[in-house]
Structure 1
């Protein structure tokens, strides 16, 4: 009982400090993880094996961690999910290589040129681009370069970039929900439950497609008046926005595109090849570093703080799991629903959405994966259905507020840095209703389909 109380107190304290944002969240997570190891596992439980389980180094020594053959392996463990850590790290390295080669600047400018640099068509183009890229690259990275490109274009074309950034953030989270490699919560859910890229695409991907058909017109009608005007192409001087100017080296550009396409192919076929997502991440990282003239400089540019945040988070969540707190949560949901899958779907999707709107959806997803696993085991309901429910709830619910998802934090931070701060009121005015629409749509589609 003492260990459970301590685990809950540490977890709540971590959440509070993450929301307050006074200390870097990676530091908060690492401190919480360290306190969990010492106070919960060593002092309260007096269990060294619990510490080893939380650190989970042994998982990387197993063949199935890197290669599963043609069998689906459930990678859930009660500690650090090293598959998620290695995959995210590898993709971050690959994306830094693409950024250095000018790929993202070239892509944004190419699209802008196609629509003659008109703000309203740019809004539609960038929303679709944000959603599509977030299916293959994590949504945080997509927003990092899209927000910068939007501000740059807005300054030159004389329009307010905030509508573009708000719409891009939402569609990045929406598009990321379609695949396993898009939003961080999906990476956590997929690696933990042994799901594949195609599993997500065939289930959450269909919901996202329908949602995108609704959300693009929604933001168009919200922002079309605000974006009218701008100097347009005629007001530009020379070729200051020539897409070719973004490419410093054609060879480096071609290599980065090849690595990206190769990584996407490996991701989409990993269920057939038997290569795990951890292996795909390692391959992408090795190819990027091997073809870069300054690999050390490239590594320094990677956001390692996010990786450290994940590590601390997994250890803290392990405290809840190994002390039985998450099992108790699952039993509570089971008691409320009476084992009815439809009620579980309704409760999980709205609970996930509301919680993820106010606390980062990454720790919430990591917390809920063991809960839905326990629900499936004890109540005999389909685990995959609960996984799609949790995925849509956390991914879309996290879009509702500026702090709900890491992509939101990154996008609003860039806007503020460039002189365009986005207030809570303005952000939530547009994104909260959009989140409600997509969550309601997701709930209906899941209930009808499963």
Structure 2
């Protein structure tokens, strides 16, 4: 079972990276193999019990928030994080409805005019906005909001949109590292380790702001002579009237209000005891009812390929966990028992970054917190709460920043690729790798310096 599950897991990633098969089809194919040969289900013999009565059924999951136990679910429901799927779907619907009002064209023209028609200044403006928004929204929502604007900006400036999209995606993963709600891995870590929103802000935000500054500085040095437009094009941009881009003011007011309330819902969903998916789908439903003249058209524009890719990815990781691959990786931590505590912390951060790039940071973090939590309980150094927290900060930085390492590393990456492809701008896994690896390595080196400094402060 171990070797079969590992072979399916690694083989699927090889097929995805080769791009010989569409990424969604490859992920779903690997998921089907996991369901057929690795993962238990209602048709695998020992679980063909009477579901309605609950007799002889395993306790699959513990609903910690409600203190209840959820009995056996169907094969898909127990292996896919539908909270993520429906959050993405809901925000896609909201963005699609707003796109019909001309809002994104308005923001694009306004941004270009603020930047005086300069491509590099426009890029830096959008990168900064993406990073800041990603700290207070989840980075997928930010990409769904910024990417349509970016495509319009690039079209107006007549420059390639792919560098813009890739730089913004990296910024969303960097900015999302700063807070509890900015990146899904932080939510998982915060929930497991009992770390608050303010704790993330105090411990991670200062470093992330420094990281963002140097990232933008590097972009300026790299692109300042590569992104050049003629004086005539800049003058044409400055002559545009952004107000003329608004095509339906009434729908914009209603849709914008719903979007604003939805974003507020994301900020306070913990206090309201609501899952992010409930907030997103509530906003999407309100938008479809009050703003959309053609519901079928709005639903057709959802990035279905991205959603199915993530469903396949969740099942793949669950299959690898069922096969024992995660347990084998966890056993490697035993070899670090006699290491210096700082070496342990930095190793976990870098391994987390590497695994996040390979496996997707959300899926990896869900398994990693359990393995690392058990390890903390066996190591006397981490009996001090501040030392334990430092390890969690290192893991958070590793998995969030490591998400830039590959196209599958973070949900925002796949959303960007899906939006770009749908608009005729294909971003290959190789393209993402070339952009992402330098950013990942440099930011992780910076994170290592920050964690080392914090370690000796403690």
Q: Would you call these one fold, judging by a TM-score over 0.5?
A: yes
- Give how far 1:220 is off: 1.0
Equivalent runs, 1:21-32 vs 2, <5 Å: 21-32=19-30
- Give how far 1:311 is off: 2.8
Residue 5 (str. 1) matches residue 10 (str. 2): no
Q: Tell me the equivalent position of 1:279.
A: 278
- Give how far 1:117 is off: 1.3
Q: Tell me the equivalent position of 1:16.
A: 14
Match for residue 34 of structure 1 among 10, 32, 41: 32
- Give how far 1:438 is off: 1.6
TM-score using structure 1 length = 0.78
Partners in 1 of 2:327 and 2:406 — Cα distance? 29
Q: Which runs of 5+ in 2 are unaligned?
A: 52-56, 69-76
- Give how far 1:171 is off: 1.4
Q: CA RMSD in A?
A: 4.1
Residue 439 (str. 1) matches residue 439 (str. 2): no
CA deviations 1:19-77 (Å, max 9, x no partner) are 22233333333333333233224599864289987986x969x8579xxxxxxxxxxx9
Partners in 1 of 2:431 and 2:15 — Cα distance? 25
Q: Which runs of 5+ in 1 are unaligned?
A: 66-76
Q: Tell me the equivalent position of 1:389.
A: 394
Contact map agreement 1:352 1:393 (CA 8 A) in 2:
yes
Distance 1:235 1:266, change over 3 A: closer
Partners in 1 of 2:433 and 2:176 — Cα distance? 20
- Give how far 1:395 is off: 2.9
Equivalent runs, 1:301-316 vs 2, <5 Å: 301-316=301-316
Moved more, 395-404 or 83-92: 395-404
Secondary structure class of the residue paired with 1:302: coil
Q: Tell me the equivalent position of 1:74.
A: none
- Give how far 1:249 is off: 1.4
**Matched residues, number:** 434
Q: Tell me the equivalent position of 2:257.
A: 258
Partners in 1 of 2:237 and 2:111 — Cα distance? 18
Moved more, 14-23 or 424-433: 424-433
- Give how far 1:194 is off: 7.5
Q: Tell me the equivalent position of 1:71.
A: none
Contact map agreement 1:78 1:318 (CA 8 A) in 2:
no
Secondary structure class of the residue paired with 1:135: helix
Partners in 1 of 2:130 and 2:366 — Cα distance? 25
Secondary structure class of the residue paired with 2:117: coil
Secondary structure class of the residue paired with 1:48: coil
CA deviations 1:77-114 (Å, max 9, x no partner) are 98433333333333333333333333333222211122
- Give how far 1:270 is off: 2.8
Contact map agreement 2:139 2:183 (CA 8 A) in 1:
yes
Residue 127 (str. 1) matches residue 127 (str. 2): yes
CA deviations 1:114-150 (Å, max 9, x no partner) are 2221223212212112222333555456556755654
Q: Tell me the equivalent position of 2:248.
A: 249
Distance 1:401 1:179, change over 3 A: same
Equivalent runs, 1:23-422 vs 2, <5 Å: 23-42=21-40, 47-48=46-47, 79-136=79-136, 138-139=138-139, 142-143=142-143, 146=146, 149-150=149-150, 152-154=152-154, 156-157=156-157, 159=159, 163-179=163-179, 181-183=181-183, 185-186=185-186, 200-231=200-231, 235-236=235-236, 241-293=240-292, 294-338=294-338, 341-357=341-357, 360-361=360-361, 363-376=363-376, 379=379, 381=382, 385-400=390-405, 404-405=409-410, 407-408=412-413, 411=416
Distance 1:194 1:48, change over 3 A: farther
TM-score using structure 2 length = 0.77
